Chain A
Amino acid sequence: MVFREENSRRVGEVGALSEISGERSEIGRDEGTQPSPAPKTEALGMKTENLSAYYDSFKAVSDVDMQIRPNKVTALIGPSGCGKSTFLRCLNRMHEVIPNAYAKGCVKLGDQDIYAKYTDPVTIRRRIGMVFQKPNPFSKSIYENVAWGARINGYKGDMDELVERSLKRAALWDEVKDKLKKSGFDLSGGQQQRLVIARTLAVEPEVILMDEPASALDPVSTQKIEDTMAELKERYTVVIVTHNMQQAARISDYTGFFYIENMGDPGRLWEFDETTKIFSTPDRKETEDYVTGRFG
């Protein structure tokens, strides 16, 4: 573990490789040039208990209990405005970045409650990364895009190697390895999105959240992103919000269906199960109506 972490420690089931941050970097320092850390394979899962999200006084999401299993892809589906994106943003404390927005309840990363009183949201956001709907690379070079996050988090290893590794894991390396100094905006939409994924990977998160990552992309780029997601779950836990039901059915292991009963109600988790069940024999009528497109 090569990042300095002020307030949070990795607790819970993690695998033999990483303990408290200080130890590993110590080892590296003695050896001279830091060797690249062995790729970790076991990520942490997450769990929400009674999670509710508010915009000022308006309750957008109500009392969600969800188990997000490690090294699996969990898809969140549901009609527009039912709180899936809001819920997702609560998972890495991005929701509270919006003025007057807050969340109540418990969200656990492994065994640690990320909303606990003295937990630093900045550290949480490094460990739980997010990819947004519209690709938003920084107006910097491709190299800098990937390196910046790692740098400000105090990465002490070989930056070139980290950039290459991250771009490879995002399936973008081959396409950009000769033009790392070019601007991030010189890439196509699909490539930009993979660049965003690469920079998220560069800070070595445990969990990757994706908010409709392919909805602004063409089908070929979408397919590439989906293939990347299938590989990502080897190392990370992935949660994705999507409007594309075939996509949810294709790539996810678990699916959660969010629903609002009446206008003005908060969104609730209506059903949560293995994806094969949700798309073959869902338990609840509203879930079935939604996945068969009979909503409305």
Chain B
Amino acid sequence: MPRETFQRELDLLVEEVVELGRQVESCLDTMVEALQAQDAEIAKRQIGVDSRYKERGAEIDEECMVLQARQAPVARDLRLIYTVQAVTNHLVRAGTLCEHICHAIVDTEGADHDPDLADTLSEMARAGRNLFGEGLNIFEQHDIDRARDLEAADDKVDLLYSEAMNLIVNPGKEGGGSPEWRTRAALMVHYLERIADHGVDIGGRTVFLVTGERMESAMRQYRERRVESDED
């Protein structure tokens, strides 16, 4: 098998990225648990974990550069390395945001919470975590058929985002919790929306890796084909 060494190095690289992704995913799981249980102790475990993610991300970046220097990749190898760098970036960002959310949970320990908003946050966290996990799976398996559903899932997160923002601006009968909590909640809502976006982007990058096309044009073609089949 020609370029066996190179192929092994590429496979190893993808494994490392997926490994990092799973670590971030488990961080997200912890965050979801903490939000659901409204338990700051659970969240405390994740404080400072993002420095490890950043370090890992930098290592992966450097491996990509070395591979490019030594192996002069073209076509799908080039797209893979390019995608790996982008996906790693998304993973590290998502991990950092997750850590920020856990930080916020710890900081607002004991403060007054708005139950509706807390529920919405919880739901949003679950949706975001699922979306991220799905994006990571799509990357690991190169299964771009599932990438199309990510947009729909993201729409749901966007809906929750609007709901949450509404609750923050217009607090309910119970008073809406303390101002510190509401401020932090607003940030958490924003972070959760970004985490969901990262998941979608990871799926989109995988589409590029496999097809060489941007997600948008792939989606456009998909929608066009759907219109055609609807008209039948």
Contacts and interface: CB of A to CB of B under 8 A. Distances in A.
A/B contact in complex, CB under 8 angstroms:
yes
Interface of A: 245-246, 249, 278-282, 288, 291-296
19 contacts: A249-B74, A279-B78, A280-B212, A281-B75, A281-B79, A281-B211, A281-B212, A281-B213, A288-B75, A291-B74, A292-B75, A292-B76, A292-B77, A293-B2, A293-B3, A293-B6, A294-B1, A294-B2, A295-B2
Contacts, number: 37
B73 interface: yes
A294 B79 contact: no
Contacts of A296: 2
B110 to A, nearest CB: 55
Nearest to A281: B212
B72 interface: yes
A245 B3 CA distance: 15
A286 to B, nearest CB: 12
- Interface hub of A246, A279, A281 (most chain B Cβ within 10 A): A281
A81 B79 CA distance: 29
A292 B76 CA distance: 8
Contacts of A280: 74-75, 78-79, 212
A245 B2 contact: no
Nearest to A278: B75
Contacts of B3: 292-294
Contacts of A245: 74
A104 to B, nearest CB: 33
Interface residues of B, number: 16
Interface of B: 1-3, 6-7, 72-79, 211-213
B2 A288 contact: no
Contacts of A246: 72
Contacts of B1: 294
A278 B74 CA distance: 9
Contacts of B76: 288, 292
A255 B3 CA distance: 23
Given A280-B78, A280-B79, A292 B212 contact: no
A246 to B, nearest CB: 6
B191 to A, nearest CB: 35
Most buried by A among B2, B74, B79, B211: B74
A295 to B, nearest CB: 6
A245 B71 CA distance: 12
Contacts of B77: 292
B76 to A, nearest CB: 6
